[in-house]
Structure 1
Amino acid sequence: MPTWFRAALALIPIVLSTLVHVVPLFAVALVKAALPLPPVRRTCNRWLAGIAESWIAFNSRMIDLCTHTRFVVSEQATLRHDGHYLVLANHQSWVDIPVLQKVFNRRIPLLRFFLKSQLFWVPLLGLAWWALDFPFMKRYTREQLARRPDLAGRDIEATRRACGKFRSIPVAIMNFVEGTRLTPAKHAVQASPYRHLLKPKSGGVAFVIDAMGEGLHAILDVTIAYPGGRPTMLDLFGGRIRDVRIDVRERPIPREFIGGDYQNDAAFRERFQAWMNALWRGKDATLSGMLGEESKA
């Protein structure tokens, strides 16, 4: 079966499922907006998360039915659907997102990503992400910041507002710490000291920990490996990925980092970056082991 035809067999039902799920999602979101009472909001939040999890479950089922991809998961974690997690992962491909959703759906709270503000305009999905309280972040160029220094703190305030909403509900805040997908060109430009990773961007992690405080109970350190090379969505739904390997490790949040001032305290920032770099060195070694297994198979 041609790759494009196999991918179409999977993607057409997913598109139809998206349309089916979006209608009740928008209806519940309108009720939530029209009646901003705490009991109503709590009920609507549960319904919204349930609709999103149903949509993800359908997508994951289509991956199972239309591909022969084997998902090999190693877990050193106790997962709770009512937990409060910060999920940190390496980022190689858009495939990472359906992989993470498939591994964690209905096992931890709905994964919520920090999204670029432009993604709000993606048809249907942009409004769905808004309804689910996904935070939209506006990025500014160096030239814009030079002209308007007051813009520099707006992402921090957006992070605080989003985390304020998340403190009252079970949540899994997703952070691709490298800030962008890994490519050989980006790796070379950075002169990254890691074999399989870009340098971690610590600021976003620090701001979430600061904003959530005791509202987070653990970090889920997730490492994703593609032994066959970095895939595309066409590779996934076209059945061209043989194995995906996922390592999940639950880690405590160092108490010394709760309530710290990453932006203004240089000593705190140095300690936090040292911790993140150590985490990333361990992840790089984990990736090397996960990919090395392929050559021995």
Structure 2
Amino acid sequence: MSSQQKKPPLLKKITNGLTIGSIITGSTFLHGPPVLVLGLTKIFGASRKIDEANINITNNWLKVNNWLIDHVLPQLKWDISVDENLDLSMQGRYLMTCNHQSWVDTTVNQYFGLKRMPLTRFFTKWELIFIPFVGPAFKILGFPMMKRHSKAQIARNPALKYRDLEEARKACEQLLSQPFTLLNYLEGTRFSPEKHAQQNSPYDNLLKPKAGGLALALNILGDQIDALVDMTIVYPDGAPGYGNFWLGDVSSIAVNLRKIEIPEWVAGGNYEEDAEYRERFQQWVDQLWRDKDQLINRMKQNHAQSAP
């Protein structure tokens, strides 16, 4: 594919940018207030119907975004592969891991999952609650919001460690009243060559995974979930910025979903207190990450071979 095909002319990019920006802004102001108003009614007691209504409103907002991707970014080609052993349902309960390269990753997840999986939530920092519209919406929609304490704070007050764990437990358990997809970016931050070099990462395409969050989620939800799903995202042209994506600078995105079998020994372990279990769990995650690294290499190679 030529560079002209990959990147739309400047005038078209400006037109697309204005169109998309206006529609997303209008859609946010259309769908955001009802979510907040309905959320306030939960002060008087939790309601499954209110939760379902808010999820439906949020999914309608996502439909607008997906419509824009399909109709305003027609040059974008998708290569989506799903493990034949992975039986997805809108009524399922899933834990999901994913590599993290760009803010676009969440948009990719939403594009794929809208008609295939329950609304995706992910762990967020409690401080985000103060961001207008976004923070309260995260809380209302059941995103686990964590009051994380630093190692220095925990060293001064060890009880904070267990308070953080209890907060995480309560946040995860609140999801069990409904279908859910709980996403965990194991790398903890977006990939960059600089971070990769600083870590001396043993993987070609990934940062080192942080296994603690996954261990906690499996400990709390393990016997309640339908599958542990691993999503792998590859941007053959390089990881784009969010603005670059919506301006049409991305020509193709490859996505792979596979089901990860959870070993029986994972259930009931104590990652925080049992050093032997923690080491075994980290070795398991390391192997998952090595398999994922090889998968990314194959996905890149397949794209290179299929390119004209």
Alpha-carbon offset, residue 120 of structure 1:
1.8
Alpha-carbon offset, residue 2 of structure 1:
5.1
RMSD: 1.5
Alpha-carbon offset, residue 88 of structure 1:
0.5
Alpha-carbon offset, residue 43 of structure 1:
1.5
Indicate which of 100, 104, 119 corresponds to 1:95. Answer: 104
Letter in 1 for 2:197: A
For 1:101-152, what per-residue CA distance to the aligned partner results, in whole angstroms no more than 9, with x for missing partners? 0001131111011012222222211111111011112333333333333322
CA distance in structure 2 between the partners assigned to 1:110 and 1:199 by the alignment: 27
Letter in 1 for 2:77: R
Letter in 1 for 2:248: G
1:17 equivalent to 2:23? Answer no
User: Structure 2: which 5+ runs fail to align?
Assistant: 1-10
Q: Which residue is equivalent to 2:148?
A: 139
Indicate which of 74, 82, 93 corresponds to 1:75. Answer: 82
Confirm or deny: 8 A CA contact 1:261 1:268 kept in the other structure: yes
Q: Which residue is equivalent to 1:149?
A: 158
* Aligned partner of residue 167 in structure 1, secondary structure: helix
Q: Which residue is equivalent to 1:181?
A: 190
Letter in 1 for 2:303: E
User: Structure 1: which 5+ runs fail to align?
Assistant: none
CA distance in structure 1 between the partners assigned to 2:182 and 2:79 by the alignment: 23
Indicate which of 118, 122, 144 corresponds to 2:131. Answer: 122
Indicate which of 42, 56, 66 corresponds to 1:60. Answer: 66
TM-score by length of 2: 0.91
* Aligned partner of residue 96 in structure 1, secondary structure: helix
1:33 equivalent to 2:43? Answer yes
* Aligned partner of residue 250 in structure 1, secondary structure: strand
Q: Which residue is equivalent to 1:267?
A: 276
Letter in 1 for 2:81: S
For 1:29-64, what per-residue CA distance to the aligned partner results, in whole angstroms no more than 9, with x for missing partners? 12233133xxxx221221121111111111111122
Alpha-carbon offset, residue 4 of structure 1:
4.3
Q: Please, which moves more after superposition, 142-151 or 58-67? A: 142-151
Confirm or deny: 8 A CA contact 1:159 1:211 kept in the other structure: no
CA distance in structure 2 between the partners assigned to 1:4 and 1:268 by the alignment: 54
Indicate which of 39, 50, 55 corresponds to 1:44. Answer: 50
Q: How many residue pairs are counted as aligned between the two chains?
A: 293
Confirm or deny: 8 A CA contact 2:149 2:164 kept in the other structure: no
1:229 equivalent to 2:235? Answer no
Which aligned runs of 4 or more in structure 1 are off by greater than 6 angstroms? none
CA distance in structure 2 between the partners assigned to 1:71 and 1:19 by the alignment: 29
* Aligned partner of residue 87 in structure 1, secondary structure: strand
Letter in 2 for 1:58: V
Identity %: 37
Check 1:155–1:5 CA distance in 2 against 1; reply closer, same or farther (3 A cut).
Answer: farther
CA distance in structure 2 between the partners assigned to 1:5 and 1:143 by the alignment: 50
